[in-house]
Structure 1
Amino acid sequence: MSEVKLAAETRSDFGKGAARSIRRENKVPVVLYGHGTEPQHLTLPGHELLLALRTPNVLISLDIDGKGNELAIPKAVQRDAIKGFLVHVDLLLVKRGEKVNVEVPVHTEGELAAGGNLLEHVLNALPVEAEATHIPSEVTVSIEGLEAGAAVLAKDIKLPSGTTLAVDGETVVLQVLAAQAEESTEDAGDEAAEA
């Protein structure tokens, strides 16, 4: 799990106008909350935060006004629908050794059995519980040789040590769908003649 250090500034101005002003300075308005504390309104550098958020469940070490460090993980990210820049981010305060519930991306490796079958990702991300400083960046599932009708359940996925499922083990994560047979041109011609 990667840890990214960012310098944060506290902010006291709120509302749309203040947020627009912050974004004009290439910064992002952020709210840090958790552990029963009062939410902290912060400003983070836009480009550095954007790069950090490319890693799923990134651990962010915040140096708040040079006074102290806090650890946080992204909870909610709002982006501009057209241009894609960050509009607002909610961060969840975490402590070292604390367990958190997060969703980890599911990646596949290998090839399905021959026959043109399709792989359906029922879950693109697997809900797990892990220590805040040891969240896996992804889980990898082998689909080598799976045939139509096969399914991979949550309990079948090998998780890193210290990580447990936060979803029912019988939940379907991946399934293989049979390829639909195309009608031959003769059959289509016969049906047209009958009509």
Structure 2
Amino acid sequence: MAETKLSAEKRTAFGKGAARTIRRADKIPAVIYGHGEAPLHVTLPGHATMIALRASNVLLSVDVEGQSHLVLPKDVQRDPIKGFIEHVDLLVVRRGEKVTVDVPVHLEGEAAANTVVQQELTTVSLEAEATAIPDAVTISVEGLEAGAHVAASQIALPEGSSLAGDPEQLVVVVTGAATAAQAEAELEALEAEAGIVRDEPTETTEPAADQS
């Protein structure tokens, strides 16, 4: 994984008012911590940081007054309404060090006809070197029949990565697609159980033409 470089400034003002001032200047308050080092409070460039954090588990090289810090985003706080980044926690990592991260799961291929593919997990937890975190893992569902399933332990992992979560967790389940008649029957059974009575359409008779 390539490193994304960002330049940061040390931050000395704290609190909600100071954070609002930072964000109005198109910057983001952040803290760098880990490996027993004292937390380093910084401000990051707003636009460049927003673009960098679009990728999951992006490896950042943050320059602060000429000193480079290799970090991973540990927590990204966003405004619940507008979605802009409010604050970022950055965890210091070392080259060759292994870290535990959640990696996206991508599906490829087409399952057998008349089946439905259910993705139970959108991410899996992996242990990988901080400088070699995979962007994603891929599962092929090509030709899978109803009743097939894929557990976490069956995922082909990139070299150097290992599963950190439960190997028995189901990631993908393939079921048979219900026909329209089956779906209608199930709906009617649920309605009957709930005491719902459908209004049946009534037949209407056109008035006879006036013969007079």
TM-score scaled by length of structure 1 = 0.91
Displacement, 1:3? 1.1
DSSP 3-state at the match of 1:56: coil
- For 1:149-192, what per-residue CA distance to the aligned partner results, in whole angstroms no more than 9, with x for missing partners? 2111111111111100001221111111332333379977xx98
Partner of 2:96 in structure 1? Answer: 97
Residue 111 of structure 2 aligns to a residue whose secondary structure is: coil
Mapped to 2, the partners of 1:176 and 1:80 lie a distance apart of: 37
1:119 counterpart letter in structure 2: V
Counterpart check, 1:11 vs 2:40: no
Which position in structure 2 is the counterpart of 1:178? Answer: 176
Other-structure match for 2:154: 156
Distance verdict in 2 for CA 1:185–1:52, change over 3 Å? closer
Counterpart for residue 140 of structure 2: 142
SS of match in other structure, 1:88:
strand
Mark the CA change 1:56 to 1:186 in structure 2 (over 3 Å): closer, same or farther: closer
C-alpha deviation, 1:78, in angstroms:
1.1
1:186/1:99 CA distance change after superposition, 3 Å: closer
**What is the rounded CA distance, in whole Å, between the counterparts of 1:102 and 1:185 in structure 2?**
40
1:25-67 per-position Cα deviation (integer Å, ceiling 9, x unaligned): 000001111112222111000100010011110000010122x
Per-residue deviation, 1:20: 0.2
Q: Distance in 2 between matches of 1:160 and 1:125?
A: 15
Identity of counterpart residues, as a percentage?
55
Note the residue ranges of structure 2 that are not aligned, 5 or more in a row: 201-212
**Whose Rg is larger?**
2
TM-score (normalised: structure 2): 0.84
SS across alignment from 1:148: coil
Count of equivalent residues = 190
SS in 2 for 1:162: coil
2:47 maps to 1:47 = yes
2:129 alignment counterpart: 131
Letter in 2 for 1:84: G
Deviation at 1:106, TM superposition (A): 0.4
